[in-house]
Amino acid sequence: MKKLGIAALAGLLSLALVSGVLAQPGMGRGGGRGPGDPSSRMYNPATVETVSGTVESVVQAPGKGASNGVHFTLKTDKETIPVHLGPAWYMEKQEVKPAAGDKVEVTGSRVTDEGKPAIIAAQVKKDGKTLNLRDVNGVPAWAGKGAGKNRR
């Protein structure tokens, strides 16, 4: 009987631990695409800039967790640079969807990703419409309420 009580207690503690981990912000659909997402940690408000150009191609790249990330290549007057948008499941729901050949204006954080320059988009403007992806601190719109409030 004593062994059964210990086993039940161990099971309840395990369940409580797992529930706590799964309830963390950004850990839902999208596999951690909240403040714990690598692109969120890379986002630096001090390096935010706005660039304009033409979308050359749009791709879905494997992301960490359950979702692919959507990226596009932007050709400006000065360079061709990858732009990180967000998880595919989130992008599919948006009205503004950049496509090859589109003229866009991107506001985001210039970062170094795998040794190469890239932009993590906070906002994309296309045809007078705006796609908002991140707040001024880089917290993703798909992260949910309260996500990142303890972010440094």
Distance between CA 31 and CA 73 in Å, rounded? 24
Helices (H), the chain: 2-22, 38-42, 88-91
Return the structure tokens found at 13: 């503690």
Tokens of 6: 């210990």
Closest Cα to residue 147, out of 30, 26, 31?
A: 26
Residue pLDDT, tens place only, 108-144: 999 998 899 999 999 999 999 999 999 999 999 998 7
- The whole-number pLDDT of residue 34 equals 42
Task: Classify strands 116-126 and 80-87 as parallel, antiparallel or unpaired.
Answer: parallel
Rounded Cα distance, 104 and 31, in Å? 28
For residue 40, what pLDDT is reported? 54
Summarised one tens digit per residue, pLDDT across range 24-44 is: 333 333 333 344 445 557 899
